[in-house]
Amino acid sequence: MERYRLFIDGDWCDPVSNEWFETTEPFSGLAWAEIPRGTQGDADRAIEAAHRAFLSPEWAGLTATQRGALLRRLAELIERNVDRLGAIEQRDNGKLMAEVSGQVRNVAQWFHYYAGLADKVQGSVVPINKADVFNYVKYEPLGVVVAITPWNSPLALTTWKMAPALAAGNTIVIKPSEYTSASILELAKLAQEAGFPRGVVNVVTGFGGEVGEPLVRHRLTAKVAFTGGDIGGQRVNEAAAPGLKKVTLELGGKSPNIVFDDADLDQAVKGAISGVFGASGQTCMAGSRLLVQKTIHDTFVETLVAAAGEARIGDPSKMDTQIGPIATRAQWEKILRMIEMAKAEGAVCALGGHALSGPEYGQGQFVAPTIFTGVRNDMRIAQEEVFGPVLCIIPFEDEEDALHIANDVEFGLAAGVWTRDLHRAMHCVDRLRAGTVWVNNYRSTSFTTPFGGYKRSGLGREGGVEAIKEYLQTKSVWITTKPNRANPFVLG
């Protein structure tokens, strides 16, 4: 069994605790690697190393173009190691190999994008309202960034933070989920090979209370970037607040996917299925509330249930598998509890609604694709994030009714609209309280555009030019071009 080590200050080292914990395959349930159990001592070492690196000429002395070259080198190494990284991540979190391989290739593209953006951050000259003064604005890095990442897409969601943070000139300490740390430690090996100076990239593994909180609270931490549930994000925000640290929080969702009666119904069915059953529903942007116009409700539901019922479920390492296991036992148990809660609330289970067991399901950490009808928007199953393959179908009368239902939730991460009417589509785009709105598609993402949420779905944005701004601070510079002979006691 492989035993990993922490990556701090350019060295691979044992945790202060001298303890490790096992990581298991969700499909087989077998332990396959040991992960270091970091504690506050490791957190302190990593933050201090990152702070030294931030101030060092080896990093601070690089031009933005030189930083970009390092990011490009890392991207090339990722491209050469796609299969290995994908296999490790798939083994650790149980995601479909068909999806993981594409995600890892996309990770390389994120690093290429921010490598190119590193030297495109431009300040401005201000036409100041004072004579004989030259004023300009420049952007500077923040310092040490702590990135706390989840178990559902470790490499992708770490990259969403790491690439813009480094492009902006910060240093970083990454704390991956205790369930899925292996692929991030492998990424650190590639960062070391790419030639990043000591301390610029650090990875400390372990549990939230033991190492995550000390990383957030450390006096030298300048910024925290977190992806996870809204409760976890709230705790991170509270821990960061006393130090007035900047935060980016990409949190949960209960996203509406709205189907009008003039939509291309075949495409809408496919969009509804991929929107909530892709990644076994373990994605923050899942379209877990399907709003269907009453005039087509029964026909649409019948078609959807039939299509979802044909999903190929099983071993995620097989390229033709469409739904794999739930990544963690705790999450599997939570999903089953919420399914029972929905039944108790009076929702009608039209498909699934139970765990799956048998030889084709490994050690049994599977939930059947589940569809509920007869759902009211005030039910807990329609208001709380399940993070699993569970879909709620809610009927609506007309456009205003759909928008009211869609916005009547504490989250605002994403939304989908299916219609052939361009005016209706644009009206919905304007009225939906969500950070991303897809029209006649769902779950599309790109490194070129921002992603993030309204309301309890988070703070800040990841992706695109917007993301690098999250890791910069603004400085205004005033230069006198002519001596001031005025009274020094009077403000000029």
CA distance 376 to 38: 44
| Amino acid code (one letter) for 482 | K
- Vertex 161, ends 157 and 162: CA angle to 5°? 105
390-396 and 355-356 beta bridge pairing: unpaired
Cβ-based burial of 345 (10 A; exposed 0-12, middle 13-18, buried ≥19) = middle
Joined together, the tokens standing for residue 146 give 């702590």
Beginning with the edge strand found earlier in the chain, give each strand of the sheet holding 414-418 in spatial order: 348-351, 370-373, 390-396, 289-293, 256-259, 414-418, 436-439
Q: 488: Cβ–Cβ under 8 A, 6 or more apart, which residues?
A: none
- Vertex 96, ends 3 and 26: CA angle to 5°? 45
CA distance 256 to 145: 33
Joined together, the tokens standing for residue 102 give 């594409």
CA distance 215 to 204: 9
Beginning with the edge strand found earlier in the chain, give each strand of the sheet holding 133-141 in spatial order: 124-126, 133-141, 472-480
Q: 9: Cβ–Cβ under 8 A, 6 or more apart, which residues?
A: 45, 46, 49, 52, 53, 198, 199, 202
Residues annotated as catalytic (active site), given as ranges: 250
Q: Are the beta carbons of 155 and 104 closer than 8 angstroms?
A: yes
